[in-house]
Chains A and B, each alone.
Chain A
């Protein structure tokens, strides 16, 4: 695994992505110490343009709140939602996909129809409905994003397992009398991991976008400031005060770009054959 990380750093895109992610994590973790003031507090008069006052370097919004502080605190929410919801989606999707692929037959049919049930509903619409029903909170947002993002994981894992379970080493494990769960966990899943890692890194980016979109629509956690909420709040005054929407928008762009670069880098590192062909 350490070797993998080293090789990722050698990949130019991967290096940039990792740097962006590390900066974002540092900001998210250290933010409250750097800016002990709540981002909700009104610190100046409204509509201070950026780069005019040293106290509020990126200006203030319609209520006189510090845009820069909002960005710092927003990083926590975005990263937290992105990582946790991806983790939950993996916890649901990987075992389901593995079981469907390994056992096949009726179990496969049942699990895949169940997966398709989620896939047929447009994911963003489903997320909106879930958050609206459960009341907007950080938990309902993470839950809703996880629920709409596990089906692709299950599909991917199922496909990998389907091709791996006919390998001779899996047959050898069956012949030596190993149990099903042992074969799935020890023989099959470790070898199916590479594409899952790549997918997961891209899912974090998608989750951040989903959270921003929900917050933009006013379905964010009302107690936590997030980039999406800031864009949504500033959109009505975008012609007078562009900075209120542009800076959080840029933050979303950079974070998602960084995660996508990591995903692409991991893909190159884990599938060296693909990289060779594209050269």
Chain B
């Protein structure tokens, strides 16, 4: 702990009070932390652990509702918490810079990338306009953006997600700050892009000898990038140490539990499912989204599904993996007929779902049910849990009293208290809501469940529980499942077979173990190698 190097930032006993009535008194409860030049400190924790508050306190960007009650943040001999707004302005950008989670919303959509970078110099009254432009070009080159002369004139929407994040990093680096704060900078990105951005942050940090505070919830990312790790829980530091110490030999129970909850990339052995009947047959689904162009522009066409065909056998879980924009969610919605296919057939058991319309379709919908991604958006906030679960059966003609009784039973089945039927969705946590979502899907006795990124929005410990429950229910009720995910670790654990999608096409479909052991398609190999934390924790 006795570092000979003077820390670039030293946070001492920082206490940030939440407004009265919040779930706990302090968002950050007495955290001390040093950021040393040339080191990446990963602050890890689940949602609500106070890790983002830490980052925002360092930038003076705390929301008005919270108060820093005690402690100090010392940068170059000055306590940031005692600065006025002018003092902060001199500090931000020059000494401390920040990279945000969502590059699309962090960049001004109406300003060219070059202007946004030169604005950094302008705000601090540095350099002449032409010098600024030259600097911006240099920065764009340094963060590895292709064709800097074009990028400097481009608007954010003309760049891909990874390119936008590179542009954000270029902005952050413009004034050569000594400290870089990165708040979940790769969470919104695809795995392959994430791997590139992580490497970029690592390279830049080495080249410029910066101190980096890297906020993340993903232990895979920690293993790939961190020098030191600080584990937060409920605003308290539960464990700290070098990355090898923490990942190889965790001391605190909570860290151990978190690490154990990270799904392994090694698929477990699965019993073969030979000779079973087909539960779902998908034949040649095509779907093209057309955005109308103007008078002089052609229509923009995106192929979300291009001759997609697969079968799901009874009792089988078929994984559908791919990056954002690969069309996997569109396929899920095509299969449950939330959107109409241009061509192709979906057969559930002996029913051809694509040929039905209106009342006939509604009568058959119960055969295939869906679990949605967002545990917060997938429930009507004005209806009670009991109503949410029993609505479907009542619409099929079940007596409302029986339907409510069944809702109680289902809640017990998914591990919630049956009394929950009288409460509203907002009273439950994310993991509990996903359980309610399962109960809603199961209420109609479906043959097939489509789970669209059903665990992606959950913390890793909750994710493990929900996955285990899903697996258990599937086996007990003999369901088949189409499991859509971008997370190959999750797919490895739960799927019998995996289909890899790229730009609307299934490029590879194989039993899980075989796919991981022996990927054939170049894209599959790329995806597999981009999964963070594979060589962990020796990588650090």
Q: Is A223 engaged at the interface, CB distance under 8 Å to the other chain? A: no
Which chain B positions have C-beta within 8 A of A173? Answer: 380, 391
Q: Would B365 and A177 count as touching, CB distance under 8 A?
A: yes
Given A177-B365, A177-B366, A190-B382, decide whether A172 and B395 contact each other with a Cβ distance below 8 A: no
Which chain A positions have C-beta within 8 A of B421? Answer: none
Q: Is B379 engaged at the interface, CB distance under 8 Å to the other chain? A: yes
Stretch at the interface among B106-114, B167-175, B370-378: B370-378
A169-194 interface bits toward B, Cβ cutoff 8 Å, 1 = contact, 0 = none: 10111111111001000110011000
Given A169-B378, A176-B365, decide whether A182 and B372 contact each other with a Cβ distance below 8 A: no
Q: Would A175 and B369 count as touching, CB distance under 8 A?
A: yes
Q: Is B362 engaged at the interface, CB distance under 8 Å to the other chain? A: yes
Q: Would B396 and A177 count as touching, CB distance under 8 A?
A: yes
Q: Which residue of A lies closest to B444 (CB)?
A: A176
Which chain B positions have C-beta within 8 A of A177? Answer: 362-363, 365-366, 392, 395-396, 444
Task: State in angstroms the CA–CA spacing of A177 and B445 once bound together.
Answer: 13
Q: Would B392 and A176 count as touching, CB distance under 8 A?
A: yes
Task: State in angstroms the CA–CA spacing of A179 and B361 once bound together.
Answer: 11
Within 8 A of B (CB), among A244-268: none
Q: Is B336 engaged at the interface, CB distance under 8 Å to the other chain? A: yes
- Of B373, B374, B379, B440, the residue contacting A176 (CB under 8 A) is B440
Which chain B positions have C-beta within 8 A of A175? Answer: 336, 338, 365, 368-370
Task: State in angstroms the CA–CA spacing of A171 and B392 once bound together.
Answer: 12
Number of A-B contacts (CB under 8 A): 65
Q: Would A171 and B382 count as touching, CB distance under 8 A?
A: no
Q: Would B366 and A169 count as touching, CB distance under 8 A?
A: no
Q: Would B372 and A172 count as touching, CB distance under 8 A?
A: yes
Within 8 A of A (CB), among B347-365: 362-363, 365
Question: Could you tell me the distance in whole angstroms from the C-beta of A19 to the nearest C-beta in chain B?
Answer: 29
Given A175-B336, A176-B440, A176-B444, decide whether A168 and B395 contact each other with a Cβ distance below 8 A: no
Q: Which residue of A lies closest to B375 (CB)?
A: A168
Task: State in angstroms the CA–CA spacing of A174 and B395 once bound together.
Answer: 11
Q: Is A167 engaged at the interface, CB distance under 8 Å to the other chain? A: yes
Task: State in angstroms the CA–CA spacing of A187 and B373 once bound together.
Answer: 19
Question: Could you tell me the distance in whole angstroms from the C-beta of B386 to the nearest C-beta in chain A?
Answer: 14
Q: Would A176 and B378 count as touching, CB distance under 8 A?
A: no
Which chain A positions have C-beta within 8 A of B377? Answer: 167-169
Given A168-B372, A168-B373, A168-B374, decide whether A174 and B379 contact each other with a Cβ distance below 8 A: no
Task: State in angstroms the CA–CA spacing of A199 and B485 once bound together.
Answer: 42
Given A167-B377, A172-B378, decide whether A178 and B372 contact each other with a Cβ distance below 8 A: no
Task: State in angstroms the CA–CA spacing of A168 and B336 once bound together.
Answer: 13
Q: Would A179 and B362 count as touching, CB distance under 8 A?
A: yes
- Of A167, A172, A191, the residue contacting B440 (CB under 8 A) is A172
Which chain B positions have C-beta within 8 A of A178? Answer: 362, 391-392, 395
Given A168-B374, A191-B381, A191-B382, decide whether A174 and B366 contact each other with a Cβ distance below 8 A: no
Task: State in angstroms the CA–CA spacing of A81 and B187 once bound together.
Answer: 56
Given A168-B372, A171-B372, decide whether A176 and B382 contact each other with a Cβ distance below 8 A: no
Within 8 A of B (CB), among A128-182: 167-169, 171-179, 182
Within 8 A of B (CB), among A193-220: none
Which chain B positions have C-beta within 8 A of A167? Answer: 377
Q: Which residue of A lies closest to B333 (CB)?
A: A171
Within 8 A of A (CB), among B302-336: 333, 336
Which chain B positions have C-beta within 8 A of A174? Answer: 338, 365
Q: Which residue of A lies closest to B392 (CB)?
A: A176
Q: Would B380 and A187 count as touching, CB distance under 8 A?
A: yes
Given A168-B372, A171-B338, A171-B372, decide whether A176 and B391 contact each other with a Cβ distance below 8 A: yes
Task: State in angstroms the CA–CA spacing of A191 and B370 once bound together.
Answer: 22
Which chain A positions have C-beta within 8 A of B378? Answer: 168-169, 171-172
Q: Which residue of A lies closest to B373 (CB)?
A: A168
Question: Could you tell me the distance in whole angstroms from the C-beta of A89 to the nearest C-beta in chain B?
Answer: 24
Question: Could you tell me the distance in whole angstroms from the C-beta of A270 to the nearest C-beta in chain B?
Answer: 13
Q: Which residue of A lies closest to B363 (CB)?
A: A177
Q: Would A191 and B380 count as touching, CB distance under 8 A?
A: yes
Question: Could you tell me the distance in whole angstroms from the C-beta of B370 to the nearest C-beta in chain A?
Answer: 5
Which chain B positions have C-beta within 8 A of A169? Answer: 377-380
Question: Could you tell me the distance in whole angstroms from the C-beta of B389 to the nearest C-beta in chain A?
Answer: 10
Which chain B positions have C-beta within 8 A of A186? Answer: 380, 383, 391
Q: Which residue of B lies closest to A170 (CB)?
A: B380
Question: Could you tell me the distance in whole angstroms from the C-beta of A46 to the nearest C-beta in chain B?
Answer: 59
Question: Could you tell me the distance in whole angstroms from the C-beta of A160 to the nearest C-beta in chain B?
Answer: 14
Most buried by A among B372, B380, B437: B380
Task: State in angstroms the CA–CA spacing of A190 and B370 once bound together.
Answer: 24
Q: Which residue of A lies closest to B389 (CB)?
A: A176
Which chain A positions have C-beta within 8 A of B392? Answer: 176-178
Which chain A positions have C-beta within 8 A of B336? Answer: 175
Which chain B positions have C-beta within 8 A of A187? Answer: 380, 383
Which chain B positions have C-beta within 8 A of A168? Answer: 372-374, 377-378
Task: State in angstroms the CA–CA spacing of A178 and B443 once bound together.
Answer: 14
Task: State in angstroms the CA–CA spacing of A61 and B274 once bound together.
Answer: 98
Which chain B positions have C-beta within 8 A of A172? Answer: 370, 372, 378-379, 437, 440
Most buried by B among A169, A187, A190: A169
Task: State in angstroms the CA–CA spacing of A127 and B392 once bound together.
Answer: 46
Q: Which residue of A lies closest to B393 (CB)?
A: A176
Within 8 A of A (CB), among B205-240: none
Q: Which residue of B lies closest to A176 (CB)?
A: B392
Which chain A positions have C-beta within 8 A of B363? Answer: 177
Within 8 A of A (CB), among B429-479: 437, 440, 443-444
Most buried by B among A167, A168, A173, A177: A177
Question: Could you tell me the distance in whole angstroms from the C-beta of A47 to the nearest C-beta in chain B?
Answer: 59
B391-402 interface bits toward A, Cβ cutoff 8 Å, 1 = contact, 0 = none: 110011000000
Q: Which residue of B lies closest to A171 (CB)?
A: B338
Which chain B positions have C-beta within 8 A of A179? Answer: 362, 395
Q: Would A182 and B395 count as touching, CB distance under 8 A?
A: yes
Task: State in angstroms the CA–CA spacing of A229 and B396 once bound together.
Answer: 58
Q: Which residue of B lies closest to A279 (CB)?
A: B64
Question: Could you tell me the distance in whole angstroms from the C-beta of B346 to the nearest C-beta in chain A?
Answer: 13
Question: Could you tell me the distance in whole angstroms from the C-beta of A236 to the nearest C-beta in chain B?
Answer: 55
Question: Could you tell me the distance in whole angstroms from the C-beta of B379 to the nearest C-beta in chain A?
Answer: 5
Question: Could you tell me the distance in whole angstroms from the C-beta of A187 to the nearest C-beta in chain B?
Answer: 5
Task: State in angstroms the CA–CA spacing of A172 and B381 once bound together.
Answer: 13
Task: State in angstroms the CA–CA spacing of A172 and B395 once bound together.
Answer: 13
For the complex of A and B, 8 pairs with smallest distance between CB atoms: A176-B392, A168-B378, A177-B365, A177-B362, A168-B372, A169-B380, A168-B377, A190-B382
Sampled A-B contacts (6; CB under 8 Å): A171-B338, A171-B370, A171-B372, A176-B369, A177-B365, A178-B362
